[in-house]
């Protein structure tokens, strides 16, 4: 796909969520447009809105958020900046409670998950959520109850597509007894690859794999590390190379790098045009193992 100079994200290619919702593969994660500890408002609300608008201007048409980001603030800012979302898919998540900065607790009771969906509908000001993902399966509640209410909400027309987060292959297959799982959001990056079996399963099944914390580079970006070396060879930043590696790793990969900075949004968007050579891709793959 040919990218225009001012919309570089279009070079990342596309993916069909659920077979009928086409998005570009490089998205934006809206966790960082909140306060420290993902708690409270960001330092500058106008900057946060500008980041969202700039991301869309660069070609991003897939934005991932959650009711727990802020909490609620990320969804509110997305509505303020982007509603009515023409050509933009806004995915959100529910199923976590917040009691303070950096504190996250699963709550999967059906009545709470229903409330999560109803309130996200109001905050985003939509009649149907394009993609709603269970943020975590609550181990204290029968997962069948959690999957059951998700199925019900979809049948009621309040959710178009359903996804999961931080799950195993077995859990995906259990959920698929209730509804089509169109996305899985697990921790995955160049140096954290414990979810590789889940990624391989998603690749085989045509399920979108959304890696959270996608730009971690660890020691690979230190002086003399493979990322540092390739960065000096190419002029691309280590973060851009880490994202380019993800995009090449699987056709179902939908990275969602997040930031509260317009400059970093622009840097991340440019990743879509980065072409790793076979040698560079293999070197990164080998080093990260």
Cα separations (Å) of 13 from 168, 259, 268?
27, 22, 15
Which residue from 25, 28, 18 is spatially nearest to 1, judged by alpha carbons?
Answer: 25
Other C-beta atoms closer than 10 Å to the C-beta of 99 total 9
Cα within 13 Å of Cα(217), Cβ side:
22
Token digits for 272? 């879509």
Strand partners, 90: 63
Tell the burial category of 119 from Cβ atoms under 10 Å away from its Cβ (0-12, 13-18, 19+): middle
Q: With the C-alpha atoms ordered 99, 136, 216, 8, is the resulting torsion angle positive or negative?
A: negative
Whether 101 contacts 60, CB under 8 Å = no
Q: How far is CA 33 from the centre of its chain?
A: 14
Minimal CA–CA distance to 72: which of 43, 41, 106? Answer: 41
Q: Which residues are identified as catalytic?
A: 69
User: Could you tell me which of 271, 276, 203, 193 has the C-alpha nearest to residue 237?
Assistant: 271
DSSP annotation of 36 reads T
- Determine how many CB atoms are found less than 10 A away from the CB of residue 32: 18
């Amino acid at each position: 796909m040919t990218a225009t100079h001012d919309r570089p994200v279009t070079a990342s290619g596309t993916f069909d969520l659920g077979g009928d919702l086409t998005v570009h593969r490089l998205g934006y994660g809206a966790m960082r447009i909140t306060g420290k500890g993902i708690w409270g408002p960001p330092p500058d609300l106008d900057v946060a809105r500008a980041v969202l608008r700039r991301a869309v201007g660069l070609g991003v048409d897939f934005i991932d958020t959650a009711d727990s980001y802020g909490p609620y603030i990320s969804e509110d800012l997305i509505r303020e900046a982007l509603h009515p979302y023409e050509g933009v898919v806004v995915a959100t998540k529910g199923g976590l409670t917040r009691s303070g900065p950096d504190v996250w607790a699963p709550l999967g009771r059906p009545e709470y998950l229903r409330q999560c969906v109803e309130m996200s509908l109001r905050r985003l000001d939509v009649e149907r959520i394009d993609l709603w993902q269970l943020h975590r399966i609550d181990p204290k509640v029968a997962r069948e109850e959690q999957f059951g209410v998700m199925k019900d909400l979809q049948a009621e027309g309040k959710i178009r597509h359903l996804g999961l987060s931080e799950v195993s292959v077995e859990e995906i297959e259990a959920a698929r007894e209730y509804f089509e799982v169109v996305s899985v959001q697990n921790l995955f990056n160049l140096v954290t690859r414990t979810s590789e079996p889940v990624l391989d399963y998603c690749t085989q099944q045509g399920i979108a794999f959304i890696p959270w914390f996608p730009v971690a580079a660890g020691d690979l970006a230190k002086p003399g590390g493979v990322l540092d070396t390739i960065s000096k060879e190419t002029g691309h930043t280590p973060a851009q190379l880490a994202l380019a590696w993800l995009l090449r790793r699987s056709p179902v990969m939908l990275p969602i790098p997040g930031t509260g900075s317009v400059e970093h949004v622009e840097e991340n968007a440019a990743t879509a045009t980065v072409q790793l050579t076979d040698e560079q891709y293999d070197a990164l793959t080998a080093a990260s193992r």
